[in-house]
Structure formats: structure tokens, C-alpha cells
Amino acid sequence: MKLSPKITIVDHFKDLEDKRVERTKRHKLIDIGNLYKNVEEIFKEAIAKEMN
């Protein structure tokens, strides 16, 4: 059974100040967080398959 999180990673970091230099901002900070979340899910699924 998969439980849904009470707070999403987007909600958790939405008020975080982005301290990067403006000229180096190729991606929104929230997009980087979403990428991390997606990679994390891939690893979780791979581990679950290995355990079955």
C-alpha cells in the first residue's frame, strides 16, 4: 500500500529563497526539486522490484 505524503516536496520548499546568481539560473529551483523527487521514485520502485 502506497501512502500519499501529507506535504509535497514542492510545498515544503516553496518559500525557500533561491540564492543562486541570476545569470546562472538555467532551471527553476522547484524544477530541480521535482527532478530529485522523480529520481527518488525510480530508485524506490527498483528496490521494491528487487525485494519481490
Quick one: pLDDT at residue 5?
61
Question: In degrees, to the nearest 5, what angle opens at C-alpha 29 toward C-alphas 12 and 5?
Answer: 30
Domain boundaries in the chain?
9-51
Report the helix count and the strand count for the chain, using DSSP H and E.
2, 0
Quick one: pLDDT at residue 30?
74
CB contact set of 18 (below 8 Å; sequence gap of 6+): 25, 29
Q: What are 23's three cell numbers? A: 545569470
Quick one: pLDDT at residue 28?
74
pLDDT in tens, the chain (52 residues): 676 667 776 777 778 887 878 888 777 777 777 788 888 888 888 888 888 7
